[in-house]
Amino acid sequence: MGTYPKTSICSNHQDSPIQTHLPRYANSRNHSMGSNKLRANGNDYHTIQTLLKELRTNFALKQLGDIALFLGIQTIRTPEGLFFTQKHYAEKILTEFNFTESKSVPTPSTLKCKQHPPDLQLIPDPTVYRRIAGSLQYLSITRPDIKFATNQICQHMHQPTNFDLQALKRLLQYIKGTLTYGLPIQIGDLSLRTYTDADWASDTSDRKFISGYCTFLGSTPISWTVKKQVTVAKSSTEAEYRALSVATSDVIWIRRLLDEVGIPQHNPTTIHCDNISAMALAKNPVFHARTKHIEIDYHFIRQHLNSGEIQLSYIASTDNISDIFTKSFSPARFQELRRKLTIQDQND
């Protein structure tokens, strides 16, 4: 692979493609680079300045001071920590697509209504639909409350219908009413916890299930995913179990990342699940004709249970935050879950 510089801020984990080391900058955490921009975060001012000085010996570096706007994400300092918002980016989306004067709505998506059949006529030119969908994906970086609705819209980018277009317009209306909402990053405990959920056979077009999970570092959500799975689950237990496996993969990766940046997790990470059967399957190796096809997922989860990296905990569906990633809700229930997800108005 060639020779490496004496100083490196690359990963030293065994899964990394290049084996280097992190000599003096272990306390200067979360170095991140996008295009030609670099951001250095940490709790040791001297270490950060030393790092920047050394970088200047090899690169033409212009120091811009404290971060305010980075890749479309605005950072606001608060007494509790930081507040991430993409208000300016959201306003740009609404302006570009003439939604600045639209009426706001309380939820990003509507509950399914079987009384009125959807308008499935294809949109003549889906270009604008696709552009908005792509923009909304980026907006969801700091807005996990729109992740499920955005995922639903992106599933139909190939051949969007008038029904899909109405769903997209509703999401824009929701964004219009929540422009100042964002993600607070609060000082506090640094232990991980994860919530996982699945909505079995909810899509009537192919009966594939939606899985979702979110992981918190202390009181702050740091990772969330919504995904329509590629296979059809034969039962709700299987759907929840596969969702649990996906969440476990993310937890293990995050634990290793935190260990590399000096925040080791000394206790098992609790993964909350609202399906008792899925949890029982993970803890007890009892397979029969209806479950043996998911044995690989079982062995993966069981391995990390035995190693002490994770532990499973039952949570009632009413308390499961990850419900917000798998289905639509009434305004009251949605706002309750959004509050538990810590998404809030920057003016609150």
CATH code for position 245:
3.30.420.10
3-state DSSP of 231-266: CCCCCHHHHHHHHHHHHHHHHHHHHHHHHHCCCCCC
Give φ, ψ of 302 to 5 degrees: -60, -40
Q: What whole-number distance in Å separates Cα of residue 296 and Cα of residue 303? A: 11
Residue with tokens 């405990």: 189
pLDDT at residue 205 in the model: 63
Looking at the structure, tell me whether residues 43 and 105 fall in a common domain: no
Per-residue pLDDT of the chain (348 residues; tens, 9 = 90+): 444 455 555 555 555 433 333 344 334 444 444 446 677 777 777 888 888 888 888 888 887 777 788 888 999 999 888 999 999 999 999 998 899 988 999 999 997 654 456 788 999 999 999 999 999 999 999 999 999 999 999 998 989 999 999 999 999 999 999 999 999 998 889 999 999 998 864 665 666 768 899 999 999 999 999 987 666 666 667 788 888 989 999 999 999 999 988 899 999 999 999 989 888 888 776 655 455 556 666 678 888 999 999 999 999 999 999 999 999 999 999 999 999 999 999 988
Rg, the chain, Cα only:
22
Please check whether residue 278 is in contact with residue 244, taking contact to mean a CB–CB distance below 8 angstroms. yes
Q: What whole-number distance in Å separates Cα of residue 201 and Cα of residue 3? A: 52
Pick the last residue of a domain from 111, 144, 177: 177
Does the residue 345 lie in any domain? no
Q: How many domains does the chain have?
A: 3
Does the residue 155 lie in any domain? yes
Looking at the structure, tell me whether residues 194 and 291 fall in a common domain: yes
Looking at the structure, tell me whether residues 170 and 206 fall in a common domain: no
Does the residue 259 lie in any domain? yes
Looking at the structure, tell me whether residues 204 and 163 fall in a common domain: no
Three-class DSSP category at 21: coil
Does the residue 255 lie in any domain? yes
Looking at the structure, tell me whether residues 138 and 173 fall in a common domain: yes
Does the residue 73 lie in any domain? no
Range of the domain at 204: 189-315
